Amino acid sequence: MTTFVGSHKAMQSVRSSDAVAVIFIMTLGAMFLGRWLLEGLPYQVSLSATIGDTAGFIYVILRAQEVLKRPGIQIPELLQRRDVHVWILMVGFVICILGCFLSLRTRQGQIMDIYHDVFIAPMFIYLGFTLVPVILANGTRKEMYEAGSYITLWLSLAAFDWYTGMIAQRPWLTEHFHLVWPVHWWIFIWTT
């Protein structure tokens, strides 16, 4: 018998529309609002965070919900244990805290970068390691292809962000402000 714990149980009990709304608010909504309130400028320059995190979260959650509701699915035995879910979340959290600590100086230590590193990134890791195996084990060939495509998309966007320097969002924005100033001018007019 398959036991549903952690993310698997949550995906079965949450409506898809609610999950998507929470993910959208937690990722893009929180980043833009937090930066606007704490830094005075609403922005999210990193493509891996703007497109990759949001699209990846939404895809994985919607697809996992669809797969988990099918009769007779098989969840790997290791992922049926609560302690494994806790360990995946804790290890992801520690890795992200370490990554945040090591890269904070290059990103000028903005509070919303820290929020991303200690809240969004560990959750992304946790959902990836607990839900993607369920999709791969129980999904159709098309769903497996889609999962691989989204992982490739996120990795490509992350590589692009590192290559262009967009991963350090505030410094990149400061350096390229002349390219985006009309957008921010309209935001300034609209918010005052």
SS3 content of the chain, % helix, strand, coil (to 5): 80, 0, 20
Q: Are 46 and 167 in contact (CB under 8 A)?
A: yes
pLDDT, greater one: 186 or 126: 126
Average pLDDT score, the chain:
81
96-120 average pLDDT score = 80
63-72, 169-178, 179-188 — which is least confidently predicted?
179-188
Burial environment of residue 94 by CB neighbours within 10 A (0 to 12, 13 to 18, 19 or more) = exposed
DSSP state of 167: T
Comparison of pLDDT for 163 and 3, the residue scoring more: 163
- Give the chain's radius of gyration (CA, Å): 18
pLDDT at residue 186 greater than cutoff 70: no
Q: How far, in Å, CA of 31 to CA of 44, rounded?
A: 7
Does 139 have pLDDT greater than 60? yes
Residue 192: predicted pLDDT: 46
Look at residues 131, 139, 26 and name the one whose alpha carbon lies nearest to residue 89.
Answer: 131
pLDDT exceeds 60 at position 68: yes
d(CA 173, CA 165): 10
Question: Residue 176: which residues within 8 A CB-CB, separation 6 or more?
Answer: none
Residue 70 DSSP label? S
pLDDT score recorded for residue 173:
77
pTM of the model: 0.78
Residue 180, H or E segment: helix 177-191
Break the chain into its structural domains and give their ranges: 6-191
Alpha carbon of residue 89 to chain centroid: 14
